[in-house]
């Protein structure tokens, strides 16, 4: 019996082993496919996440110093320039200076032909002499008529009114009064002639143009032989600058930035003549009057400039940066991070701030958002930001200093 059972067991076992072998022969391909798919899925997911991480350019917050600037443009001019004109008409006889000549105060710059002006002076002198002679004659006439009136009055009293007649005495009185009135008129004529002579002599003196200051000739608008007509406006002959070692730039500032501008702020600027050189100045005046050009409102500021090396010239166009604020050791992020938005991602907003205690402090005035890498994927994060220098912005939020803040997408080889 035991032997039979043993044989039966052996046969059962053999059949079971044969069945198992048959099952694996039938299904081994399916198991192999599942294994391959699983391995492929694992590596695909790992590599895909790695690709996602490699798709972005990112940085961590950086501590740096920021210089906040306001841009402006304008032109250079001398701190003290004078337009020298002439108040009389005539033909230019001499021009004694030229561009860039240094002049002293009182130095003769030019002369008019004075022939006509001298004639006017001589004519005025003659008119004065005539007026004086008439005045002298009038003075004698007064004495004569006065003497005649006294004689007639004496006769009238001595004859007890019989001679001369009252009519003759009245005529004498009238003659005397006329003589005195004529004397007054000749006195006025003498004064008038004197005044005219003074005017003509001054015009003669003004025919010689002299420098009112010590400086340099910037501009000359007259040549020998040219006619000068001084009617309603005074013709400008020369422009003089007192000292080109000190200049100023008049710069225009946009109305959106004028609130940041104050006197004594430092200014850095450049000119096209020296593109590699930076010049420095200081704001000394912020003008209240607005300038409107093509609908754009600007305000002018005056920048004092030291030009001791005489490189700068009047009229040069300046491109200026006015330093309004300097910040030191501030945590910053690139401005590109504030502009970045992923093309396609699951937007999961998470707050990574350390929880602040409740208080009555006002809410942040300037909120923005950035995207950080979390497990290889971009995650949106709200942040509080401060001032910017145009490249970097102050980060006020207390976030992880090792956080990878996305700034842009990487450019693939295909895109290139």
* Predicted pLDDT at 237: 95
**Mean pLDDT (whole number) for 107-112:** 96
Query: Quick one: which of 11, 258, 278, 221 has its CA closest to 98?
Result: 221
Same domain, yes or no, for 194 and 141?
yes
Does some domain include residue 215?
no
Position 364 confidence tier, pLDDT thresholds 50, 70, 90: very low
Same domain, yes or no, for 342 and 386?
yes
Does some domain include residue 216?
no
What pLDDT, in 10s, does the model give residues 40-63?
Answer: 655 545 545 544 445 788 899 999
Same domain, yes or no, for 345 and 299?
no
Does some domain include residue 32?
yes
Does some domain include residue 84?
no
Same domain, yes or no, for 279 and 311?
yes
Coil, strand, or helix at residue 72?
strand
Question: 99 phi and psi, to 5 degrees?
Answer: -55, 140
**Mean pLDDT (whole number) for 275-291:** 95
Same domain, yes or no, for 264 and 307?
yes
- Pick from 53-62, 74-83, 98-107, 179-188: least confident: 53-62
Same domain, yes or no, for 355 and 398?
yes
| Residues 386 and 396: beta-carbon distance below 8 Å | yes
Query: Quick one: which of 171, 246, 186 has its CA closest to 216?
Result: 246
Beta strands in 234-273 (DSSP E): 236-241, 246-254, 266-271
| CATH value at residue 300 | 2.40.30.170
Judged against a pLDDT cut of 70, whether residue 318 lies above it is answered with yes
In the chain, the N- to C-terminal Cα span, in Å, equals: 86
Mark which of 274, 309, 327 sits at the end of a domain. Answer: 327
Same domain, yes or no, for 322 and 339?
no
Query: Quick one: which of 317, 346, 343 has its CA closest to 408?
Result: 343
Mark which of 287, 304, 327 sits at the end of a domain. Answer: 327
Mark which of 297, 327, 357 sits at the end of a domain. Answer: 327
Q: What is the mean pLDDT of the chain?
A: 84
Same domain, yes or no, for 317 and 345?
no
Same domain, yes or no, for 322 and 334?
no
**Mean pLDDT (whole number) for 225-237:** 89
Same domain, yes or no, for 120 and 197?
yes
CA distance 404 to 385: 17
Coil, strand, or helix at residue 124?
helix
Q: What residues does 306 pair with on adjacent strands?
A: 246
Position 416 confidence tier, pLDDT thresholds 50, 70, 90: very low
Judged against a pLDDT cut of 80, whether residue 412 lies above it is answered with no
User: Structurally, how many domains does the chain consist of?
Assistant: 4
Query: Quick one: which of 330, 331, 371 has its CA closest to 352?
Result: 371
Does some domain include residue 86?
no
Same domain, yes or no, for 400 and 340?
yes
Position 74 confidence tier, pLDDT thresholds 50, 70, 90: very high
Position 6 confidence tier, pLDDT thresholds 50, 70, 90: low
Does some domain include residue 143?
yes
Distances in Å between the Cα of 154 and the Cα atoms of 149, 169, 253, 287, 400 are 9, 10, 93, 84, 128
Does some domain include residue 400?
yes
CB proximity list for 178: less than 8 A, separation 6 or greater: 145
CB proximity list for 112: less than 8 A, separation 6 or greater: 86, 88, 90, 91, 92, 93, 207, 208, 228
* Predicted pLDDT at 9: 61
* Predicted pLDDT at 38: 63
Angle among Cα 322, 295, 299 to the nearest 5 degrees reads 30
**Mean pLDDT (whole number) for 288-298:** 93
Judged against a pLDDT cut of 50, whether residue 409 lies above it is answered with yes
What pLDDT, in 10s, does the model give residues 380-394?
Answer: 999 999 998 889 999
For the chain, give the longest Cα–Cα distance. 215
Distances in Å between the Cα of 177 and the Cα atoms of 115, 133, 156, 317 are 44, 20, 20, 76
Whole domain around residue 259: which residue ranges?
A: 71-79+243-327
CB proximity list for 13: less than 8 A, separation 6 or greater: none
Coil, strand, or helix at residue 281?
strand
Position 161 confidence tier, pLDDT thresholds 50, 70, 90: confident
- Pick from 122-136, 137-151, 248-262, 394-408: least confident: 394-408
Q: Look up the pTM and report it.
A: 0.62
Does some domain include residue 384?
yes
Same domain, yes or no, for 389 and 352?
yes
Distances in Å between the Cα of 134 and the Cα atoms of 22, 142, 182 are 160, 12, 9
The sign of the CA dihedral 42, 45, 49, 50 is positive
| CATH value at residue 377 | 2.40.420.20
């Amino acid at each position: 019996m035991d032997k039979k059972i043993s044989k039966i067991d052996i046969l059962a076992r053999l059949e079971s082993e044969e069945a198992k072998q048959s099952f694996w022969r039938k299904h081994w391909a399916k198991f192999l496919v599942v294994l391959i798919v699983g391995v492929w899925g694992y590596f695909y997911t790992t590599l895909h996440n790695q690709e996602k991480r490699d798709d972005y350019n990112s940085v961590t917050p950086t501590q740096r110093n920021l210089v906040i600037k306001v841009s402006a443009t304008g032109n250079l001019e001398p701190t003290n320039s004078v337009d020298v004109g002439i108040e009389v008409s005539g033909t230019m006889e001499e021009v004694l200076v030229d561009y860039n000549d240094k002049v002293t105060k009182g130095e003769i710059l030019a002369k008019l032909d004075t022939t006509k002006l001298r004639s006017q002076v001589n004519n005025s002198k003659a008119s004065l002499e005539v007026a004086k002679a008439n005045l002298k004659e009038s003075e004698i006439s007064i004495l004569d008529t006065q003497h005649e009136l006294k004689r007639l009055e004496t006769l009238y009293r001595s004859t007890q009114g019989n001679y001369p007649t009252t009519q003759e005495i009245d005529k004498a009185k009238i003659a005397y009064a006329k003589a005195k009135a004529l004397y007054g008129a000749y006195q006025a004529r003498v004064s008038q002639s004197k005044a005219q002579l003074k005017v003509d002599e001054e015009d003669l003196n003004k025919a010689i143009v002299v420098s009112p200051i010590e400086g340099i000739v910037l501009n000359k608008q007259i040549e020998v032989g040219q006619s000068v007509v001084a009617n309603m406006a005074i013709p400008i002959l020369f422009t003089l600058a007192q000292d080109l070692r000190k200049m100023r730039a008049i710069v225009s500032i946009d109305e959106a930035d004028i609130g940041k501008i104050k006197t004594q702020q430092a200014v850095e600027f450049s000119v096209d003549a020296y593109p590699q050189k930076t010049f420095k100045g200081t704001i000394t005046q912020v003008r209240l009057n607005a300038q409107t050009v093509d609908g754009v409102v600007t305000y002018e500021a005056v920048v004092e400039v030291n030009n001791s090396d005489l490189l700068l010239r009047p009229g040069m166009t300046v491109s200026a940066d006015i330093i309004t604020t300097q910040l030191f050791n501030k945590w910053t992020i690139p401005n590109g991070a504030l502009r970045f938005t992923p093309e396609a991602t699951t937007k999961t907003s998470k707050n990574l701030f350390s929880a602040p205690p409740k208080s009555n402090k006002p809410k942040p005035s300037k909120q923005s958002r950035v995207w950080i890498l979390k497990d290889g994927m971009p995650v949106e994060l709200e942040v509080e930001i401060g001032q910017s220098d145009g490249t970097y912005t102050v980060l006020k939020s207390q976030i992880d200093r090792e956080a990878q803040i996305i700034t842009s997408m990487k450019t693939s080889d295909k895109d290139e």
